[in-house]
Amino acid sequence: MAAQPYGPSTTTVQPNWYSTLSWRTSSFSAGAGECVEVAAAAPFVLARDSHDRSGPVLEFTSAQWRHLVDRIKAGETGLA
Strand partners, 58: 47
pLDDT for 1: 44
- Cα 66 from Cα 72, distance rounded (Å): 10
Q: Which secondary structure element, helix H or strand E, spans residue 72, and what is its range? A: helix 62-73
pLDDT for 28: 67
pLDDT for 2: 46
pLDDT tens, residue order, the chain (80 aa): 444 444 443 434 444 677 788 999 876 665 666 788 999 988 899 999 888 888 888 999 999 999 998 998 898 887 65
pLDDT for 46: 92
